[in-house]
Amino acid sequence: MTQAPQLSPELARGVAAFARALVAAARNWTLYPPEHPAVASSLDRLADAVSQATAGAFFAVSATPDSLLVEGLPVPGREQQLSEAAALLHDRDILQIAFAGEVPPQALRALLTLLALDADARRSGGGPTALWAATGHPSIAIEQIDYQKVLEDREESGAAPRRRDDVWQAIARAIVEGRKVFDEQAQQRLLAIAGDPLEIVDLAAAVMAPGHAADGSPMITTQAATVLAAFRHLSSIVSVMAADRMPEVMRNLGEAASRLDPHVVVQMLRSTEEAGEVVPVVGRLASAFDDMQVARLLATALATEGRASERLAEVFNTIAPDVDRRRRVMTLTRSLLSESDFGRTGQFQVLWASMEELLLSYDETPYVSEAYRTTLDGVTARARDMAERDLPPELPGWLETLDRDNVRTLSVTLLIDLLHLEGDTPQGADVARDLAALAEDLLLSGDYAEAARVTGALAQAARTATGGPLRAAARRALDDIVDTLALREMVAMLGDLAPGQMTAVTALAQAIGPAMVEALRDALAVEARTLTWTRAADLTAGFGADAVSRLAPLAGDPRWVVQVVAADLLGRIAAPAGVPLLQGLVRGGHPKVARAAVAALAAIDDPAAARALHTVLRAATGEVRQAVIGALLTDPDPRIVPMLVRILHESQPLGADHDIVLQTLGALGAVGGDQAVPAVETVMRARSLFALKKTRTLARTAVDTLRRIDTDAARQALGQAAGSGHRALRRAARAAGAGPEN
Helix (H) or strand (E) holding 482: helix 468-482
Residue 47's pLDDT is what? Answer: 86
Report how far residue 48's alpha carbon sits from residue 21's, in angstroms, rounded to the nearest whole number: 9
Judge whether 291 and 232 are in contact, CB under 8 Å: no
Report how far residue 172's alpha carbon sits from residue 200's, in angstroms, rounded to the nearest whole number: 11
Report how far residue 351's alpha carbon sits from residue 353's, in angstroms, rounded to the nearest whole number: 6
Q: How far is CA 225 from CA 211, 273, 284, in A?
A: 10, 12, 17
Report how far residue 39's alpha carbon sits from residue 28's, in angstroms, rounded to the nearest whole number: 6
> Of 736, 701, 705, nearest to 719 (Cα)?
736
3-state class (DSSP) for residue 411: helix
Report how far residue 553's alpha carbon sits from residue 569's, in angstroms, rounded to the nearest whole number: 13
Residue 423's pLDDT is what? Answer: 80
Question: Could you state, in chain order, the average pLDDT of each consecutive group of 10 residues for the chain (742 residues)?
Answer: 57 81 79 70 82 76 82 68 80 85 86 84 82 85 68 45 66 79 81 85 83 64 83 84 83 80 74 66 71 69 60 59 67 66 50 51 47 57 62 67 67 85 82 86 83 91 78 87 85 87 92 91 87 92 90 87 89 87 77 79 78 67 60 59 73 79 78 80 83 85 85 85 82 75 43
Answer yes or no: pTM beyond 0.75.
Answer: no
**Per-position DSSP letters for 33-102, written without gaps between them:** -TTSHHHHHHHHHHHHHHHHHHTTSEEEEEE-SS-EEETTEEPP---HHHHHHHHHHHHTTEEEEEEES-
**Pairing assessment for the beta strands 58-63 and 73-74 based on DSSP bridges:** unpaired
Residue 537's pLDDT is what? Answer: 92
> Of 318, 333, 323, nearest to 284 (Cα)?
318
Please state the three-class secondary structure of 521-562 as a single string.
Answer: HHHHCCCCCCHHHHHHHHHHHCCHHHHCHHHHHHHCCCCHHH
The contacts found for 516-521 with CB under 8 angstroms, 24 or more apart, are 516/482, 516/543, 517/543, 517/547, 517/550, 517/551, 518/482, 518/550, 519/482, 519/487, 519/488, 519/491, 520/491, 521/550, 521/553, 521/554
3-state class (DSSP) for residue 393: coil
- List CB contacts of 742: < 8 A, sequence separation 6 or more: none
